[in-house]
Every structure is written in C-alpha cells, then in structure tokens.
Amino acid sequence: MAAPVALIQGASRGLGLQFCKHILKHRTTAVVIATCRNPEHAAELRDLSDRHPGNRLTVLRLDVNREEDVRGVADRVRESFGRLDLVVNSSAVLHPSGKGETSLRDVTAQGVISTLTTNTVGPLVVAKYLAPLLQKGGGGFGQQPAEKSKRHSGVIVNITAKVGSIGDNGLGGWYSYRMSKAALNMATRNLSIELGRSRPKVVCVSLHPGTVDTDLSRPYHRNVPKDKLFAAELSVSRLMSIVDSLNMERTGRAFNWDGTELPW
C-alpha cells in the first residue's frame, strides 16, 4: 500500500504545526505537505523540515486568501504526489485587530469580511482544488469497512470552534469569529453531501480542538480553568484519534476534542 499523504494548511505554528509533528512521529510511513503564508518566517517549521530530510515533509507557500495560491499548490501536489489522503484546514484569525468584538458597536464591515475570508472562504477554496486529489487517495486515514460501497478515499478536516455552534451560543459577542466558524460548519456539511455522492467518497468533518494554548487564544487564558486549557500536543493527539475513527457514517458532522458530537 502506498504511503498516506497528508496536507496541513496553516502549518507554521499552533495546531497546524502540531499536526505535522504528530503525523511524522506516529505515522512513520506517511508523507506530510505543510503549507503556510510565509515559509521563510516559519522558523519551527523549517527546523522540522531539517529534521526530516527527503520527501517526508514538503513545505509550500499558500495564502488561503489568494485563490491562485491554492490552485498552484494543488498543481504541485498533483505533479509530485498524484493524490492526497488527508487535508486539515487549521489556519484561522480571531479578528484582524486580534480581539473579538464584545458588542455590536465594535463591528466593522471590513473586520467581518476579513475574518470570513480567512476562516471560511479559504478552507472552502482549498476543498475545491484538493477534493479531486482526495478522490484519488488510498484511504490512509480513518476506518475502512469491509463493504466497498462504504469506503472512502480521503478525509477533509475543518478546524472549527465551539463558539461557532448556533445551538450552544448563550453569551453572544465575537460576531466575526462566531459567524465565520458557523459558516465553516455549513461548508463542511455541504461538502459532505457532495463528496459523499462522489465515487470514490470523501469524509468531511468539523473538529473543535478545545481551548488550546496558541497565539489566537492566549489573550483570553485568564478566563479559562487550568484543566480546560490544552497544550497543542494533547489537543492534536485527541483530534487524530477522532480522525482514525472516521468513516462515511460519521461524515458531515462536528465533533468536540473528546469525540462527543457538537450541536450545529
């Protein structure tokens, strides 16, 4: 069986970087393609690449706000690998200002548009160009049932957030970020329907990593209980356990880091 190929979008830091580390460490035959906006400034990712010579880790430039970048990466992957087994969309912004809106008076059209562009439109465009490569995958991630009709060729993971759950929203605020993640969940659902009809099929899920010790959440750590603040390594380990359990019966859903289903 050919080595599984995973592409991690937003791999320069935080969860994305940890996904790369986890797969390289625990999937010793897997190949990782790490993408980020500025590879030359991604010191940790460059260091990881130096420690994995050969073709186990490939770093490519990708700004999800530029469709031509996404198209170019898809062409590179097609030429070099011919397929994908896993795509993780992990890059996100809280807000261009770095602070979520606490009330309606803080909302600006440009802030909402910018957040939606990165958090929602970007992953959807990534899916558009990479889905054909996932349909050529070998199903190297997730569970494969005995029945051929229920098997999948690849997996799309969109990193969502609990604050994007409409059913769970009891506090309000953070308009741009909440809206972008709610819209991302809808994109995941739509993708699961279309790519669930395709042959071969692709599993599509949204995963909530919990509150993780990353640059995005760091300004709000003082309000998070210590037992609810996760290191990126722990969060990704739990998320990959969910990925390993995926099949076509679980596509189109959102899951918390602990495997429980997150309400839309």
222 lies in some domain: yes
Looking only at the bridges linking them, the beta strands covering 31-36 and 57-61 are: parallel
Contact 63, 42 (CB under 8 A): no
Residue 245, H or E segment: helix 232-245
pLDDT at 7: 98
pLDDT at 177: 96
3-state secondary structure of 125: helix
Q: Would you write out the chain's pLDDT as a tens digit for each of its 264 residues?
A: 689 999 999 999 999 999 999 999 999 999 999 999 999 999 999 999 999 977 899 999 999 999 999 999 999 999 999 999 999 999 999 999 999 999 999 999 999 999 999 999 999 999 999 999 999 999 999 999 988 888 999 999 999 999 999 998 999 999 999 999 999 999 999 999 999 998 899 999 999 999 887 655 555 555 555 556 789 999 999 999 999 999 999 999 999 999 999 988
238 lies in some domain: yes
pLDDT at 49: 92
191 lies in some domain: yes
C-alpha 67: how far from chain center: 17
pLDDT at 137: 97
pLDDT at 175: 97
263 lies in some domain: no
Domain that holds residue 54: 5-256
List the CATH number of the domain containing 174.
3.40.50.720
262 lies in some domain: no
249 lies in some domain: yes
pLDDT at 254: 97
Candidates 231, 235, 217; CA nearest to 177 is 217
43 lies in some domain: yes
The domain total for the chain is 1
264 lies in some domain: no
| DSSP-assigned states of every residue in 84-153 | -SEEEE----S-TTSS--SSGGG--HHHHHHHHIIIIIHHHHHHHHHHHHHTTS---SS---SSGGG-EE
